[in-house]
Amino acid sequence: MEAPRLAHTMSSPTSPCEEVIKNLSLEAIQLCDRDGNKSQDSGIAEMEELPVPHNIKISNITCDSFKISWDMDSKSKDRITHYFIDLNKKENKNSNKFKHKDVPTKLVAKAVPLPMTVRGHWFLSPRTEYTVAVQTASKQVDGDYVVSEWSEIIEFCTADYSKVHLTQLLEKAEVIAGRMLKLSVFYRNQHKEYFDYIREHHGNAMQPSVKDNSGSHGSPISGKLEGIFFSCNTEFNTGKPPQDSPYGRYRYEIAAEKLFNPNTNLYFGDFYCMYTAYHYVILVIAPVGSPGDEFCKQRLPQLNIKDNKFLTCDEEEGVMVYHHAQDVILEVIYTDPVDLSLGTVAEITGHQLMSLSTANAKKDPSCKTCNISVGR
């Protein structure tokens, strides 16, 4: 396993995830309490003359890195050889208690001009709250350190996946998408009460709602993008939507061209599984120039509607023809309201399979097929 690294960069990286590590090596990773009392077996002695870091600043936060800087008194500053950075998920900030002593919480880096970039995919996860505290240290000839007191504790949260990371997920999803099958409708399953409520309280129009936290932990659309979920997968034998559903016994069907056409843009949103053999791909359809389109344009990889591995729309002999990937389950988010009058609502004849629900589903972090190496 690659060791976590601390790096210093004199200028901002051209990309949030560009490798900017230069002239700095991680010498050691040690477990240490953050209250200023060092572990008895750590071989660390205390010397108060070293300056204590204060006014800590965290900047340039990505899903797997951040920059850190601080102020310190000039007294004994020239004796500093190393920085100790204690990094923990926020829920551990009060105790630092672990089942195994070899769990790293403290990063030991050679002293370099600030700010430093802290990067390391196996200890930083996207969209996660962390705490950080800093000590200055001086390495002695016998290998031991003298250290300052701990600084104040600072809290920060890592960012969502960038387009670079989503493109990595996209490429993984393309590998298993499989051949394309024809489709003619998008559909949405709900309980009868849902459709009654739409008719009575929303003027017959289904309204976008904020996407839940299912899927990849770093997904930039979770808890932020507003849309309406649709399905489009078909049964191999019939070419029609399956009769079973985890979301309710009433199904709204709408002709594919009403939602997906040359006046809409298509974006890749996520790729995940839930400890199962089958995988899900989330796509976003947004009318060109709509608020949803602007949101996605800044955050998600855009797909060619005529040529991609998941969902295509093309004209053949004057008729719009649609295809979907066979070997992944597509979840399609449409970002504008949809009037029920554009389609039909009817009761399905199959079963309500609750086990297939993806509501707030947790992604399997151990799956090699749908994970990328920037934390979970």
- The strand pairing partners of 155, in sequence order, are 131
Q: Which two tokens stand for residue 120?
A: 């390391």
Sole residue written with tokens 């010498």: 27
Task: Locate the DSSP E strands across 191-295.
Answer: 205-206, 209-210, 226-231, 250-255, 264-272, 280-287
**How far is the C-alpha of 290 from the C-alpha of 109, rounded, in Å?**
47
Residues 326 and 276 in one domain: yes
**How far is the C-alpha of 263 from the C-alpha of 274, rounded, in Å?**
33
- Tell me what pLDDT residue 135 has: 92
**How far is the C-alpha of 322 from the C-alpha of 283, rounded, in Å?**
15
Cα 50 to its chain centre, rounded Å, is 39
**373 in any annotated domain:** no
Residues 307 and 339 in one domain: yes
Q: How many domains does the chain have?
A: 2
**How far is the C-alpha of 130 from the C-alpha of 128, rounded, in Å?**
6
Closest CA to 231 of 272, 267, 187: 187
**8 in any annotated domain:** no
Residues 127 and 244 in one domain: no
**362 in any annotated domain:** no
**15 in any annotated domain:** no
Residues 152 and 174 in one domain: no
Q: Which two tokens stand for residue 80?
A: 């500093």
3 state DSSP class of 201: helix
pLDDT in tens, the chain (376 residues): 333 334 333 333 333 333 333 333 333 333 344 444 443 334 444 444 899 999 999 999 998 889 999 999 887 788 899 999 988 888 654 444 433 333 446 788 888 889 998 886 556 888 889 999 999 999 988 888 899 999 999 999 999 999 999 999 999 999 999 999 999 999 999 989 999 999 999 999 999 999 998 889 899 999 999 999 999 998 877 778 877 777 778 999 999 999 999 999 999 999 999 888 889 999 999 999 999 999 999 999 999 999 999 999 998 888 999 999 999 999 999 999 999 999 999 988 765 555 555 666 778 888 889 988 775 4
Q: Which two tokens stand for residue 14?
A: 């051209």
**How far is the C-alpha of 125 from the C-alpha of 148, rounded, in Å?**
29
Out of 158, 187, 204, pick the residue that ends a domain.
158
**How far is the C-alpha of 306 from the C-alpha of 261, rounded, in Å?**
10
- Tell me what pLDDT residue 283 has: 98
**281 in any annotated domain:** yes
**How far is the C-alpha of 287 from the C-alpha of 294, rounded, in Å?**
10
Q: By the 8 A CB rule, do 370 and 166 touch?
A: no
**72 in any annotated domain:** yes
Residues 182 and 274 in one domain: yes
Residues 292 and 171 in one domain: yes
3 state DSSP class of 119: strand
Residues in the chain: 376
Within 8 A by CB and 6+ apart from 66, the residues are 58, 59, 60, 117, 118, 124, 156, 158
Out of 139, 158, 177, pick the residue that ends a domain.
158
Q: In degrees rounded to 5, what are phi and psi of residue 26?
A: -80, 120
**How far is the C-alpha of 296 from the C-alpha of 241, rounded, in Å?**
28
Q: Quickly list DSSP for 52-64.
A: PPEEEEEES--SS
Residues 170 and 71 in one domain: no
**283 in any annotated domain:** yes
Residues 78 and 169 in one domain: no
- Tell me what pLDDT residue 29 has: 35
**150 in any annotated domain:** yes
Residues 225 and 285 in one domain: yes
**How far is the C-alpha of 133 from the C-alpha of 88, rounded, in Å?**
9
**How far is the C-alpha of 150 from the C-alpha of 287, rounded, in Å?**
53
Residues 180 and 105 in one domain: no
**How far is the C-alpha of 282 from the C-alpha of 279, rounded, in Å?**
10
The CATH number assigned to the domain holding 115 equals 2.60.40.10
Residues 183 and 237 in one domain: yes
What residue numbers bound the domain in which 177 lies? 163-347
Residues 60 and 81 in one domain: yes
**How far is the C-alpha of 195 from the C-alpha of 187, rounded, in Å?**
13
